[in-house]
Structure 1
């Protein structure tokens, strides 16, 4: 397996981990809601007993999910770092050098271009010659050599009219596009995508906390509607029951 294939494999694994996290959250939510329903339907439990059971079950599901997310995050960081590392190796790899004859021909044409741009009758003519030369380049190796020469060649046109500067930018864009192999272009895309996704929060703790809290609010609403508990007193209890468990905030809802 070459570096390009390893990069693709690491990126695919990273995406699989991202998708698996969604599944973990969904399973935790569904599991908690199932137990919540069972507890609320248990006629042998008092209101206080139901509240205690819900707090216990919520903590169990949250702690289990925390452990799963931490493991997923560790694996995600490992695979994403691998994808970026392989991409960098591809991007920094030496390009295949063409034959001596091909390189000599390129140098000859480049020297002729430099002379033509200096002796050009006007800016439009000089830019046309520069663009024509760039359009003939289809080898990344020569494109990079031309990129090294481009600032000096473009210098005589930089302070001309706005349209000339726009033309220079257009020519430079063409040159830059040719300067990378197809593998390098794909490696750059994968690197950018990976870094972007690493900046996104993989940890879904806040989401599951919100969902569990919503479930608790739903329970409170049902209880009030069924006259099982006084609405005002319960809401006061809810607001005053904020605390800290294992260094994390929680609500006795």
Structure 2
């Protein structure tokens, strides 16, 4: 059975949430593994205090890269879900609303809409024309009809303003257009807008907020020197690439 737009978008959002939860397991693994390794070094009777520092620095570099590799993977998977939602949402928003299956109602709409446009063009009273438009809008509340009105509202508004281009009239027309836009937003398009809003700042997602248990767990075994880019793994790898390039 084909899933609705809302179901598809919600599915991606739920998957993104599960992807972010991978940080819980990663933080625990880093804390346990790095902590255990450091403890072994500290307890090694063959190492001097200076030797322990050197040994810790050696192994920490490897753990650092492994950590950023995993974070980059998690963030990449999260951004893939964000892209999927954005692609689907933008496509949905660009597609016209489906025409109602009631062909009789569609025919009545077309006939009455043409009459409304003519009356607005020939009308001599702005207030009377706006009242007629408002009544027409309230009569046809299907997203398809509202979208038709939205796409051609400039024509109706222009006819009204020709008979009363004052601040009050413009304000009333603006509110009328807002009401039409709300009606033109189908459930699918509403879900699309929600999806875009949800992933609005996806590229800047902070997988390890400084106040989180996961951040503190990693910080307890890896100093700030090694985790300063924990929420920006791409910065770590860019710096690594620059270092390797300058060394050549």
Give the TM-score normalised by the residue count of structure 2: 0.70
* Equivalent residue in structure 1 for 2:187, among 172, 182, 187: 182
Q: Secondary structure at the match of 1:152?
A: helix
Moved more, 55-64 or 121-130: 121-130
Q: How does 1:153-172 map to 2 (within 5 A)?
A: 153-158=156-161, 160-172=165-177
- Number of aligned residue pairs: 219
Moved more, 167-176 or 84-93: 84-93
* Equivalent residue in structure 1 for 2:201, among 197, 201, 204: 197
Q: Is the 8 A contact 1:138 1:178 kept in 2?
A: yes
- 1:222-253 CA-to-partner distances (Å, cap 9, x unmatched) read xxxxxxxxxxxxxxxxxxxxxx977569xxxx
Question: What is the RMSD computed on CA atoms of the aligned residues?
Answer: 3.5
Moved more, 95-104 or 169-178: 95-104
Cα shift at 1:13: 1.3
For 1:96 and 1:245, the matched residues in 2 are separated by 52
Q: Based on CA coordinates, which of the two structures has the bigger radius of gyration?
A: 1
Could you say which residue in structure 2 is the equivalent of 1:64?
66
For 1:38 and 1:123, the matched residues in 2 are separated by 85
Could you say which residue in structure 2 is the equivalent of 1:132?
135
Cα shift at 1:166: 1.5
Q: Is the 8 A contact 1:143 1:176 kept in 2?
A: yes
Cα shift at 1:139: 0.7
Q: Is the 8 A contact 1:39 1:54 kept in 2?
A: yes
Any gaps of 5 or more consecutive residues in structure 2? Answer: 227-238
Q: How does 1:85-104 map to 2 (within 5 A)?
A: 85-98=87-100, 99-104=102-107
Distance 1:245 1:125, change over 3 A: closer
Moved more, 99-108 or 119-128: 119-128
Q: Is the 8 A contact 1:33 1:215 kept in 2?
A: no
- 1:162-184 CA-to-partner distances (Å, cap 9, x unmatched) read 22212111111111111121122
